[in-house]
């Protein structure tokens, strides 16, 4: 009996753009009381643009841009895509430091690009003075000199505010965890009405925050986009990857948000609750029917052909009740690529 309901619910979620990839996903959804979001590519569109370049070292702006492109071409992070179409310097021995940035070798020097704290931990040079810029930024430096600061801009997803509001209305807590600057992360959280936000969070810090939530008895869903979200997603009770996420992130997630519409998170939670309710209805119906019909049939009060018809009709009721889950409303269902 549960199989019919689970199959119908999975079909509904697929039509909505929420694809469960693990057998436990529907069941776990029923207990979720906290949703934790990554920022870039999750709450924002992930379509970043470079708004300004500030050099602070011996190299000019064009050289800094080429050096940044030479490092970032080895990454698929949304920030890296800003530099993918630019002329790139030849950088060797490039390594990706999860949640921090990238490092490599250029003309005999070690070079680093990423969040300020990451770059600061790898250069011996004195850090430039902080500035009033509140948006996203990444830094470029060698092991002996700071070179440039790149200011970036990203737009919040159209449905992010309404999705967060819908979660709150349903009694679901929200949290934002991001490796970006704390000031910028707080601004995004305030704009969306997210209850709690932590910026400049390393993958280890994200995992610690999730463990603290779990220790407090919270049932956590983590929604992320990048490879740097993998450790924290693995530490959540349920992980959801955006449809634009890296292939490995999607492969490891418990579900994939195929069309990137955050409102479908709420629809998935509603569908999970409906699935549990319908499974219970079907079990009550089947138990009640058998409790009444089997003694009557055993006593010979109905002919065998009528008993067979009754059993078939009982099964049909169960199937039709489960199929109610596969219905999607026109306001939420969106056509998907290839679907």
Alpha-carbon distance of 6 to 276, in angstroms, equals: 9
Query: What residues of the chain score a pLDDT lower than 70?
Result: 1-6, 9, 131-134, 277-279, 281-339
Residue 332, pLDDT score = 44
* Phi-psi category of residue 214: left, alpha or beta, with phi > 0 → left and psi -120 to 50 → alpha: alpha
At which of 216, 238, 267 does a domain end? 267
Q: In sequence order, which residues have a C-beta less than 8 Å from that of residue 261 and are 6 or more positions away?
A: 17, 159, 334
At which of 207, 240, 267 does a domain end? 267
| Tokens (6 digits) for 81 | 């895509």
Residue 104, pLDDT score = 98
- The number of folded domains in the chain is 2
Task: Report pTM.
Answer: 0.75
Question: Residue 164's domain spans which residues?
Answer: 18-45+155-267
Same domain flag for 159 and 39: yes
Same domain flag for 29 and 172: yes
At which of 110, 127, 153 does a domain end? 153
Same domain flag for 161 and 146: no
Q: In this predicted model, what pLDDT tens digit does every residue of 251-295 receive, in sequence order?
A: 899 999 998 899 999 989 988 877 776 667 666 656 665 666 666
Q: Count the neighbouring beta carbons within 10 Å of the beta carbon of residue 192.
A: 22
Same domain flag for 131 and 28: no
Asked if residue 148 lies in contact with residue 68, where contact means CB atoms within 8 angstroms, the answer is yes
Asked whether residue 276 is domain-assigned, the answer is: no
* R_g of the chain computed on alpha carbons: 26
Report the CATH number at residue 27: 3.40.50.1000
Asked whether residue 87 is domain-assigned, the answer is: yes
Residue 38 falls in the annotated catalytic set: yes
DSSP result, 271-301: HHHHHHHHHHHHHHHHHHHHHHHHHHHHTT-
Q: Annotated catalytic residue: which of 33, 38, 153, 254?
A: 38
Report the CATH number at residue 91: 3.40.1110.10
Residue 331, pLDDT score = 42
């Amino acid at each position: 009996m549960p199989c019919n309901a689970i199959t119908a619910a999975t079909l509904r979620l697929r039509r909505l753009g929420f694809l469960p990839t693990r057998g436990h996903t529907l069941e776990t959804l029923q207990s979720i009381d906290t949703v934790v979001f990554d920022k870039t590519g999750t709450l924002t569109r992930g379509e970043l643009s470079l708004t300004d370049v500030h050099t602070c070292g011996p190299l000019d702006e064009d050289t800094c841009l080429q050096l940044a492109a030479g490092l970032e071409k080895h990454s698929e992070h949304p920030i890296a895509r800003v530099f993918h179409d630019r002329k790139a310097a030849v950088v060797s021995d490039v390594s990706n430091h999860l949640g921090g940035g990238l490092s490599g070798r250029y003309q005999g020097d070690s070079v680093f690009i990423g969040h300020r704290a990451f770059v600061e931990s790898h250069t011996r040079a004195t850090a430039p003075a902080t500035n009033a810029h509140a948006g996203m930024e990444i830094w470029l430096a060698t092991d002996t000199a700071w070179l440039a600061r790149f200011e970036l801009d990203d737009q919040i997803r159209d449905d992010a505010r309404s999705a967060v509001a819908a979660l709150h209305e349903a009694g679901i807590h929200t949290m934002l965890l991001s490796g970006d600057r704390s000031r910028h992360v707080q601004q995004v959280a305030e704009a969306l009405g997210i209850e709690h936000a932590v910026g400049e969070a390393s993958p280890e810090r994200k995992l610690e925050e999730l463990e603290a939530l779990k220790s407090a008895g919270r049932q956590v869903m983590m929604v992320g986009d990048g490879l740097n979200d993998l450790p924290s997603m693995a530490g959540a009770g349920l992980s959801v990857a955006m449809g634009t996420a890296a292939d490995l992130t999607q492969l490891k997630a418990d579900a994939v948000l195929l069309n990137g519409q955050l409102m479908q998170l709420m629809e998935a939670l509603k569908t999970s609750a409906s699935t549990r309710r319908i499974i219970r209805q079907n079990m009550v119906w089947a138990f009640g029917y058998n409790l009444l019909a089997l003694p009557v049939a055993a006593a010979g009060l109905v002919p065998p052909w009528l008993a067979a018809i009754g059993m078939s009709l009982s099964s049909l009721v169960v199937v039709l009740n489960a199929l109610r889950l596969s219905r999607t409303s026109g306001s939420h269902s969106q056509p998907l690529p290839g679907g």
